[in-house]
Amino acid sequence: MSTSSTSPDPRSASSRAGLAGPAADVGRWFSTAARAGAPAAATPSARSILRMPAWGPVPGAEYGHLSSEAESAAALELLRGPPVTVLTGAGMSTDSGLPDYRGRDAVPRAPMTYQEFMGSDLSRRRYWARSTVGWEQFRTARPNAAHHLLAQLAPEPLDVTAVITQNVDGLHQEAGSDPVIDLHGRLDRVRCQSCDALSSRAGLHARLLQLNPELAARLPDLARDAARAPDGDAEVDRTSTFRYPPCPLCGGILKPDVVFFGESARREVVADAFAALEVSQALLVLGSSLTVQSGLRFVRAARKADKPVVILGDGPTRGDEHATARLHGRLDVLLRRWAGEA
């Protein structure tokens, strides 16, 4: 893999920290609300960067179905008693105001990849500008009924070994679930890509506002416009002049402590998740489209071990063919039925 002579040098502290002079205006290349059928935008250098397709509702899929109470009861019987591992996805947090990527109301967008973030100063300016706006929505999110109901279902009728979540919002912990394995990390933390030091996202947010007073002045209006975009995907008109700080310990690149598209989850976290699945006798999936391998592998592992897999959610998932039982509907409605039967 090669880079052009005009690509920013990732070893340059001023370049990676975004503290040099304004980069070239990239205009609408930074648009995340991709038009259906539109060609992929070119990258700002010759670097070959993995580009994810724009995500949105599954074309042709049917949403809004509700499984019967008899089907709900039968699915619960598959899970009642023996240890159960729970896997959750973005659909778990939509009622907390955190939009998903594949649900019925999802807005098509192309999330930034790890390769893009690490390979381009322009991309990091874009991410942190939008993330600063999106953080206003994210940090005020609170657990919804589904989070609370899941916590209340343990230890009876569900003997939960762990909640493995693909979400990065910390809402399961706030609702009382324990233990929780944050498969994709936590957005309220920041990790240096050089020295691995962890720091607070809240502290970085304050620093970003200090470095970018013009954006800070517009933040309330921008936050309202970004209310339907996941953190980091909020639309900001111009990002080329945005400034972001380096790691205060080593000068390295700071990145949210979350797994970006194109990046692998931390090995020790994946090991903890599989350990939880190994000691369970069933897998319950809540609100995940299972579009990416990161979550789907647990479904496949459970079926390979001949463990029942129960999937709850609205709309299709990539794991439906592996499901022992498939319940359709809003998570709060389905889980409330189970709480009533407990």
Q: Which of the residues are catalytic?
A: 184
Closest CA to 124 of 136, 132, 116: 116
Closest CA to 91 of 267, 293, 295: 295
Take residue 273 and report the two structure tokens written for it.
């998740």
Take residue 319 and report the two structure tokens written for it.
């794991």
How far is it, in rounded angstroms, from Cα 119 to Cα 24? 16
Three-state DSSP state, 28: helix
Place of tokens 């063919």: 321
Beta strand 185-192 with 198-200 is antiparallel
Q: Number of H helices and number of E strands within the chain?
A: 11, 9
Beta strand 180-182 with 185-192 is unpaired
Alpha helices in 86-158 (DSSP H): 114-119, 121-138, 145-152
Three-state DSSP state, 180: strand
Cis link prior to 155 (omega < 30° from 0)?
yes
Q: State residue 111 phi and psi, 5-degree precision.
A: -60, 150
Q: Give the sign of the dihedral formed by CA 288, CA 56, CA 236, CA 119.
A: positive
How far is it, in rounded angstroms, from Cα 143 to Cα 176? 10
Q: State residue 325 phi and psi, 5-degree precision.
A: -140, 140
Take residue 43 and report the two structure tokens written for it.
């990258």
DSSP structure class, residue 25? P
